[in-house]
């Protein structure tokens, strides 16, 4: 006769077998230890190719310099020198193949994002010179008075009759 001690043990062994079978079914073949050992092999080998195929969205300011050297030189030594072009113009993934892929945002909202005066004296954000958009020349675009690629400079006047 079977002992009451053995019966639960068979149940436990059954559970282990089920787990092993499920593992074979569920874990993809290319998962596991590769030539670099367990520590670096804890992923799907095919995943590496997936990641390589993702195209880079942001190209950085050095990329813009090749074709927009004037803007690059303007901004470089200005108070905005540390801001990436793509921070204001969006990701350059399809630019310049699709020249409209980058935005020119002339809204006050673009600037107020960083320049709304905040009382966070302990943070870097709080140390950026701030204005109150409700009282600082409201109703007009900031770029009418501040050239964005060097905000200490007045913007180049556009053709008056255009």
Q: Which spans of this chain sit near ligand HEC (rule: CB under 6 A)?
A: 59, 61, 63-64, 66-68, 71-72, 75, 79-80, 83, 85-89, 92, 95-96, 99-100, 102, 104-106, 108, 110-115, 128-129, 131, 133, 136-137, 140, 142-146, 148-149, 151-152, 155
Query: Least distance in Å: CB of 32 to ligand HEC?
Result: 40
Buried b (16+ CB within 10 A) or exposed e, 11-35: eeeeeeeeeeeeeeeeeeeeeeeee
CB 46 within 8 A of CB 30: yes
Query: Least distance in Å: CB of 160 to ligand HEC?
Result: 15
Residue closer to ligand HEC by CB (options 41, 133) is 133
Tell me: cis bond preceding 80? Omega within 30 of 0 counts.
Answer: no
């Amino acid at each position: 006769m079977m002992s009451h001690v053995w019966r639960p043990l068979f149940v436990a062994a059954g559970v282990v077998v089920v787990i092993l079978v499920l593992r074979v079914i569920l874990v993809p073949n290319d998962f596991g230890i590769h030539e670099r050992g367990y520590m670096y092999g804890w992923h799907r080998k095919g995943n590496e190719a997936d990641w390589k195929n993702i195209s880079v969205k942001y190209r950085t300011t050095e990329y813009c310099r090749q074709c927009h050297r004037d803007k690059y030189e303007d901004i470089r030594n200005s108070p905005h020198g540390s801001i990436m072009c793509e921070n204001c113009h969006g990701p350059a993934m399809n630019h310049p193949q699709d020249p409209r892929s980058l935005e020119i945002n002339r809204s006050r909202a673009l600037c107020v994002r960083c320049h709304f005066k905040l009382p966070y004296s302990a943070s870097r954000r709080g140390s950026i010179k701030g204005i109150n958009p409700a009282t600082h020349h409201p109703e007009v675009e900031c770029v009418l008075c501040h050239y964005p690629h060097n905000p200490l400079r007045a913007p180049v006047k556009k053709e008056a009759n255009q």
